[in-house]
Amino acid sequence: MNRTIGIVLLSGGLDSATVAAIARRDGYCLHGITFAYGQRHEIELQCARRLAEFFGIGDHIVIDIPSRIFSSALIRGSAMEVPKHREPLEERSIPATYVPARNTLFLAYALAYAESVSAGAIFIGANAVDFSGYPDCRPEFFSAFQTVADRGTRAGVDGDGIRIMTPIIDMKKSEIIMLGTQLGVDYSLTHSCYDPTAAGLACGACDSCILRRRGFMEAGVPDPTRYGTG
């Protein structure tokens, strides 16, 4: 019996870790892909590597993307500042932490990788409920990318196609954490903060920390995060 091959995008964060657990539960044999694109910190890359090990993903590739093609507050050396202490879900504008076309580029790499290893699915931990308002995290973006995958690959035109899987896109952060906890995810291996301290502690005040902290609280699951402030 051939198990279906899947690609999982591992960011080192809570969402993609949960998605890896879901894909594994559903019987996928996983390859992992992670991107180094001049993030403000290296911690998330370390977390992605540890998570790949935790999930027994043998084939995990880390792709370097030259950060100069991105203009964003999330990029190391950027003059822009990571917004703090705001209410992520009430802000309607796209924040400074938006990285231009990031998910398009990540999915494009995953698509090339998927087709090269004959994978039938790409798992991405995008979420459009407890999120920062990025345009490339919304369901209509992923349905558009699915059409690109269907029309722009040999697998899509001549084969069974490659499915873009967004299993947690409609879930609240607390629901994601509850599901991941049931599936045995060790969230102490994950990192969410956009702007950690030099010692690698979470700031507790950026959008991502606010959503994560609230999620654990609402889920009634102990938060393993070490916060440096807040």
Give residues in contact with its own copies (CB under 8 A).
61, 63-64, 66, 68-71, 93-94, 98-105, 107-109, 111-117, 135-136, 138, 140-141, 144-145, 147-154, 156-158
Nearer to its own copies, 64 or 87 (CB): 64
Q: DSSP class of residue 189? A: G
Provide the minimum distance between the beta carbon of 10 and its own copies in the complex, in angstroms, as a whole number. Answer: 15
Amino acid at 165: M
Nearer to its own copies, 155 or 205 (CB): 155
Nearer to its own copies, 69 or 220 (CB): 69
Nearer to its own copies, 162 or 203 (CB): 162
Provide the minimum distance between the beta carbon of 105 and its own copies in the complex, in angstroms, as a whole number. Answer: 4
Provide the minimum distance between the beta carbon of 142 and its own copies in the complex, in angstroms, as a whole number. Answer: 9
Nearer to its own copies, 150 or 186 (CB): 150
Sequence-separated (6 or more) residues with CB below 8 Å from residue 212: 14, 173, 192, 193, 202, 223, 225
Provide the minimum distance between the beta carbon of 166 and its own copies in the complex, in angstroms, as a whole number. Answer: 13
Sequence-separated (6 or more) residues with CB below 8 Å from residue 151: 157
Please give the full DSSP string across 166-180, using - where no structure is assigned: -TTTT--HHHHHHHH
The dihedrals phi and psi of 30, each to the nearest 5 degrees, come to -100, 140
CA distance 212 to 10: 17
Between helix 14-25 and helix 43-54 the angle, nearest 10°, is 20
Provide the minimum distance between the beta carbon of 40 and its own copies in the complex, in angstroms, as a whole number. Answer: 17
Question: How far, CA to CA in Å, does 187 sit from each of 87, 120, 127, 158, 212?
Answer: 24, 27, 17, 40, 11
Nearer to its own copies, 33 or 51 (CB): 33
Provide the minimum distance between the beta carbon of 72 and its own copies in the complex, in angstroms, as a whole number. Answer: 8
